[in-house]
Amino acid sequence: MGFFGKIFTGLTKTRESMVKEVKGAFGKGKLTEQVIENIEEKLLACDIGIDVATSIMAYVRTKARGEEIDSQQLLGWMAEATRDLLPETPAWQAKSKPHVILMIGVNGAGKTTTIGKLAHYYKGLGLKVMVAAGDTFRAGAIAQLERWAERTDVDIVKHQEGADAASVAYDAYAAAKARGFDVLIIDTAGRLQNKGHLMEELRKMVRVLRKHDEALPHECLLVIDGNTGQNAIQQGQGFNGIVKLDGLVVTKLDGTAKGGAIIPICREFGIPVAWVGVGEDVSDLIRFDREEYVRGLFLKDAEATELIPDPTALPAGKTASDYYLGV
């Protein structure tokens, strides 16, 4: 299954919830101010956030111009507006050798599993990959990362449980550099943004890494559980004060109806989603693409390849119901 098939399936709960609510609020006809308010309320129920909901409907209002429309037009314009609110995810490019990725997030977000899947991805590109067991705090964390290293056939640097996490990061970089590795992915302990001593540990890890190179880490990815919704904004605010965030990894997207929360989170931090997790398999970590995400939110047909916002621009032999839910 390609990216679109996986993202479409992963967004099923979000899409069904959102489109059902929008249909119920709109019905058919003119897009009155009362209808717009009703739709905004339904979008809020899908955890899209007030600023995003208002922005989407402001765009739709300018498109509708008081004329009668149907749900196909409405969903098309909402898709356009949503796409334009999301930053594009840049193509991945190693910034040096090794390219260092620091994974951060709260307990249970799925950092260690994500590291295993990332290692599998980069190994599949023919790169030499090393992982570092920087979570020396949680019981079993080192063993869990070891299992992923074995499963994906990549090297691992580890110390004993309870060891200084900054030392693990420092030694891992030295080893990866000396042995010519292409990618180093560093695990960290899960921590809440209000846990001062653990946040200070993270600050120390960054400081120690920069003894090797001031540019480290090259990427800092915040891993958030898709079920968290907009509450992830508070998590990110705490981490962003310690180290500059470069991107988000949204896990468990296939198990939540809060997939729309990606939009306000991205807007809050001005960073793109780098990856989304859409299943348990080692290959179920997908590079995020905003076009495909929008299709997964609004399209009916998982095999459709284009956004069709204008009903007069449908390809020959196609009808609006081939593309959009709710028609």
Q: How far apart are CA 82 and CA 163, in angstroms?
A: 45
The 8-class DSSP code of residue 230 comes to G
Spell out the domains of the chain, with CATH numbers in brackets.
Answer: 8-88+292-305+313-322 (1.20.120.140), 99-288 (3.40.50.300)
Most trustworthy range by pLDDT among 183-187, 242-246, 310-314: 183-187
Q: How far apart are CA 31 and CA 60, in angstroms?
A: 9
Collapsed DSSP state (helix, strand, coil) of residue 99? strand
Instruction: Give pLDDT tens digits for 183-214.
Output: 999 999 886 655 667 788 899 999 999 999 99
The stretch 116-139 carries a mean pLDDT of: 94
Q: How far apart are CA 10 and CA 299, in angstroms?
A: 13
User: To 5 degrees, how large is the angle CA 80–CA 81–CA 84?
Assistant: 90
Greatest CA separation for the chain: 67
Confidence at residue 278, expressed as pLDDT on a 0 to 100 scale: 81
Confidence at residue 326, expressed as pLDDT on a 0 to 100 scale: 31
Nearest residue to 187 (alpha-carbon basis) of 170, 208, 165: 165
Confidence at residue 128, expressed as pLDDT on a 0 to 100 scale: 96
The 8-class DSSP code of residue 299 comes to B
Looking at the chain, the whole-number percentage of residues with pLDDT higher than 90 is 35
Instruction: Give pLDDT tens digits for 88-104.
Output: 888 888 878 999 999 99
Higher pLDDT, residue 282 or 306: 282
Higher pLDDT, residue 18 or 148: 148
Q: Please count the CA atoms within 13 angstroms of the CA of 248 that sit on its side-chain side.
A: 32
